[in-house]
Amino acid sequence: PSRCEVSRIGSLAGVALLLIGQGLQRRSHAAWMLALGICVIAPLPIWLRGGQVLIALSALLVAMALWASRREFYRQGALLDEAWSWPWIRNLGLVLVAVIWLLFFVYSHVEYQNELWWQFALQGNAPRALRALLVVAIALTIFGLARLLHSTRSPLPPADMPTLDALAPILLAAEDTQACLVLTADKAVLRDADQRGFVMMQRYGGSLIAMGDPVGPPDVARGLIWRFREEADRLGLRPVFYQVGEAYWQTYLDLGLTLVKLGEEAMVPLQDFGLEGRERADLRQAWNRGKRGGLSFRVAAPAEVPALLPALAAISQQWLDDKAGDEKGFSLGSFDPDYLVRFPVALVEADGRIVAFANLWQAPAGHELSVDLMRHVDDAPKGTMDFLFIELFLWGRANGFHRFSLGMAPLSGLAQHRLAGRWNRFANIVARHGERFYGFSGLRRFKSKFAPQWRARYLAAPGGVHLPAALLDATRLISLDPRR
């Protein structure tokens, strides 16, 4: 009798193969190893049950096929990390419902009794079938709980300090200040073989997300886009490029990605910037008002920043408390001393104390200047931030910079036509109804006062159902507090 009960192992093997089928479809190496082991071991209880050679041979044939195609299962990662699609869950549920229905249909002539669950008999197929069904239910419950309690994919290890220091020559040759985001030390780095460029990236959910275009010469950047795609494929993740420009749109399309507009970046030309003329009257008045109010401006070199950190930390914490928010990551820097000491810091002072500061990003090769953290005390004189920006424009022009990036205005510059694409219509609805929570139009109005040129920024990701998932993963990644 005990030999007959071993058939439950066959039921478990079948359930296990169903559960790891999604992993096999995604070419997971871990799923391949487990499936191969099941197909090799499964024939043993089948033979013990009564020598059903055909069933045993079918499992061995599957094992041989898996072994022959072993090079196709190259993606690394734990099985519990596999993201299940809703169609797969639906199909799995339909199979299990069909099995349960078939079981009760075949044994519909057997009157149900509680004893069927523990009765052992050589010819008692119904009791064994019920107990096999119970084992299957327990296995599914355990697997479901394991996935429920399993933490989400852990982030990729961020680049260490020696790696970041080694990127200095690449950053000096960068033409976009966004490259400085790599120094936040919350992203992994993918470099080319010749150490001429890099992609900064992080993993969240089912996405491998790159921050901006690759940094480096155009030929290196195009190669890195494909390298990044290969890395995402190896990890079984969807490739996502966040806040990219228009330089490599053809390469992104060659990857099979879809581009959707996230907003527009404000770029202020500095070579002709000045406070003279009627069109600059508002800026001139704001600057004069700041001067009359006792505001002064200076730029502290990186060597001076360590001594300023206690005062800057107090301003930063007061600003966060006033905004009732947390630090953001990935696409923004946070108040991290190791990060701030790498940059010059612009200071606005009043009556001998610092009332506002901003760390400066510089891309000398591209003659571009920008800021990341911008924070002020809650009792700063009115117009302090306007004064800070005007002084930064003047300082940048005097130091040979040609343009100043004010950052992106999210969900701006989108097509307003009723026949525009679904993304444009959806984003316009979000911008319209989310105004009170974020202030999309207010942010664009603030940046527009400096008469910038606008350039589009995009998200490049797989289309279809993957696109909203990629947007959600990117949004959640940015909202994570890097201090936690």
Q: Give residue 152's identity as a one-letter amino acid code.
A: T
Task: Give the residue-averaged pLDDT of 116-126.
Answer: 44
Domain boundary pick from 121, 149, 177 = 149
- Helix, strand, or coil (residue 454): strand
Residue 214: C-alpha distances to residues 168, 209, 245, 262, 289 (Å) = 15, 12, 10, 18, 42
Q: Which two tokens stand for residue 36?
A: 């191969």
Residues forming beta bridges with residue 208, ordered by sequence position? 203, 239
Distance CA 352, CA 73 (A): 65
Q: Give residue 257's identity as a one-letter amino acid code.
A: L
Domain boundary pick from 126, 149, 172 = 149
Q: Does the residue 182 lie in any domain?
A: no
Distance CA 269, CA 242 (A): 25
Q: Are 79 and 34 in contact (CB under 8 A)?
A: yes
Confidence of residue 235 (pLDDT cuts 50, 70, 90): confident
DSSP type of residue 117: G
Confidence of residue 417 (pLDDT cuts 50, 70, 90): low
Q: Which two tokens stand for residue 118?
A: 């523990």
- Please state at what angle helix 43-50 crosses helix 7-25, rounded to 10 degrees: 150
Q: Is the pLDDT of residue 278 over 70?
A: yes
Distance CA 395, CA 342 (A): 19
First CA to last CA distance, the chain = 57
Task: Give the residue-averaged pLDDT of 123-128.
Answer: 47
Q: Is the pLDDT of residue 78 over 60?
A: no
Q: Does the residue 362 lie in any domain?
A: yes
The whole-angstrom distance between residue 347's C-alpha and the CA centroid of its chain comes to 33
Q: Are 377 and 356 in contact (CB under 8 A)?
A: yes
Distance CA 406, CA 371 (A): 7
Q: Which of 102-106, 192-196, 203-207, 267-271 has the lowest mean pLDDT?
A: 102-106
pLDDT digit string (tens) for 425-475?
Answer: 666 666 554 555 565 677 788 888 898 999 999 999 998 888 888 888 988
Q: Give residue 444's identity as a one-letter amino acid code.
A: R
pLDDT digit string (tens) for 181-192?
Answer: 999 988 999 999
Domain boundary pick from 129, 149, 169 = 149
| C-alpha triplet 369, 370, 376: angle, nearest 5° | 135
**Neighbouring C-beta atoms of residue 78, cutoff 10 Å:** 12
Range of the domain at 135: 2-149
Between these two residues, 441 and 324, which has the higher pLDDT value? 441
Residues forming beta bridges with residue 457, ordered by sequence position? 263
Confidence of residue 24 (pLDDT cuts 50, 70, 90): confident
Residues forming beta bridges with residue 346, ordered by sequence position? 299, 358
Structural domains counted in the chain: 2
- Residue 322 exposure: Cα atoms within 13 Å on the Cβ side: 12
Q: Which of 7-21, 66-80, 318-332, 391-405 has the lowest mean pLDDT?
A: 7-21
Q: Does the residue 161 lie in any domain?
A: no
359's torsion region: left (phi>0), alpha (psi -120 to 50) or beta? beta
Burial 247-256 (b: 16+ CB within 10 A, else e): ebbebbeebe
Q: Does the residue 198 lie in any domain?
A: no
Among 265, 262, 284, 263, which residue's Cα sits nearest to residue 273? 284
Task: Give the residue-averaged pLDDT of 258-266.
Answer: 90
Confidence of residue 328 (pLDDT cuts 50, 70, 90): confident
**Beta pairing, strands 238-244 & 403-410:** unpaired
Distance CA 430, CA 424 (A): 10
Between these two residues, 193 and 421, which has the higher pLDDT value? 193
- Helix, strand, or coil (residue 354): strand
Q: Give residue 124's identity as a one-letter amino acid code.
A: G
CATH code, 369: 3.40.630.30
DSSP string for 329-342: -SSS----HHHHTT
As a 3-state breakdown, the chain gives helix, strand, coil percent values, each rounded to 5, of 55, 20, 30
Q: Does the residue 109 lie in any domain?
A: yes
Distance CA 405, CA 266 (A): 6
pLDDT for 62 equals 83
Count, in order, helices (H) and strands (E) of the chain: 19, 11
Between these two residues, 4 and 229, which has the higher pLDDT value? 229
Q: Does the residue 427 lie in any domain?
A: no
Distance CA 154, CA 434 (A): 31
* Predicted model pTM: 0.73
Cβ neighbors of 53 (< 8 A, separation 6 or more) are 47
pLDDT for 86 equals 56
Q: Does the residue 76 lie in any domain?
A: yes
pLDDT for 149 equals 39
Q: Does the residue 430 lie in any domain?
A: no
Q: Is the pLDDT of residue 147 over 60?
A: no
| C-alpha triplet 402, 403, 409: angle, nearest 5° | 175
